[in-house]
Amino acid sequence: MSWQPFPLFQSHLDLAHDYWKRLLRIGDTVIDATCGNGHDTLALANLCVNDSCGTLYAIDKQSNAIASTRQLLQSHLTPGHLHRIHLIQGCHSRFPDTLTPQSVKLIVYNLGYLPGGNKTITTETATTLASVQHALSLLMPGGCLSITLYPGHAEGEVEQQQLIPLLRQLDATKWNCCHHQWINRRAGSPSLLLVQAPMPMTVR
């Protein structure tokens, strides 16, 4: 059989999912801060929960997004898995009070508007910045933020313009931050921000 080439990645979501697979293990605590129609939530559930361990929080301010996510999860997961997933209708700037600092392995943001929904309802810069600043304190050593940006619409452009300088201020000797952008696609194409918390100290 001859070797056939295939694309390593075709979208920002391909890259994000690849990073999640490398990072997560069953039993981890994960937050999908903007669950939308639930496709990321389902991918995360398959990586971090089983019938007996792991915790996944899925948040969205729109009731139809929560309903879509619930329906998708129920059609693909066992009742035991579903028991480990908490769907929360609310702003992504508010995380559950039960979460403690340095307790979360991955926090995912897929910013912008709900696919197939009202495009005038988007994530907002002020609440996104507040959420990310809080999220940084929740990450366990080596944990990550995964933030998909959509600068192709007005609020999304502002979110990108303000998030990048905020994260650029993190101590480069401790935090790993990178920004994946397409350089041969139209201006305003989605991009991916990844932020990894300081790794635990190794004892020699």
pLDDT of residue 202: 58
Average pLDDT over residues 184-196: 89
Closest of 80, 31, 38, 35 to residue 57, by C-alpha: 31
Which strand ranges, in their side-by-side order, compose the sheet holding 139-149? 85-89, 55-60, 29-32, 104-110, 139-149, 191-196, 176-180
Closest of 64, 126, 142 to residue 92, by C-alpha: 126
- For residues 144 and 150, give the distance between their C-alpha atoms in angstroms, rounded to a whole number: 20
Identify how many contiguous H helices and E strands the chain contains and give both numbers: 6, 7
Phi, psi of 5 (to 5 degrees): -70, 150
* Cβ proximity of 129 and 169 under 8 Å: no
More confident site: 1 or 14:
14
Average pLDDT over residues 90-98: 95
pLDDT tens per residue across span 114-145: 888 888 889 999 999 999 999 999 999 999 99
Tell me: pLDDT of 204 over 60.
no
CATH topology of domain 23-196: Rossmann fold (3.40.50)
pLDDT of residue 18: 93
Closest of 94, 23, 87 to residue 55, by C-alpha: 87
Name the pairing type of β-strands 55-60 and 104-110: unpaired
Tell me: pLDDT of 1 over 70.
no
Tell me: pLDDT of 161 over 60.
yes
Which amino acid is residue 142, in one-letter code?
A: G
Tell me: pLDDT of 9 over 90.
no
pLDDT tens per residue across span 34-87: 999 999 999 999 999 999 999 999 999 999 999 999 999 999 999 999 999 999
Tell me: pLDDT of 201 over 80.
no
pLDDT of residue 166: 95
Which amino acid is residue 10, in one-letter code?
A: Q
pLDDT of residue 128: 97
Q: Name the helix (H) or strand (E) containing 31.
A: strand 29-32
Global pTM value? 0.93
**Residue 29: beta bridge partners?**
55
- For residues 136 and 113, give the distance between their C-alpha atoms in angstroms, rounded to a whole number: 23
Least-confidence region, from 3-17, 166-180, 181-195: 3-17
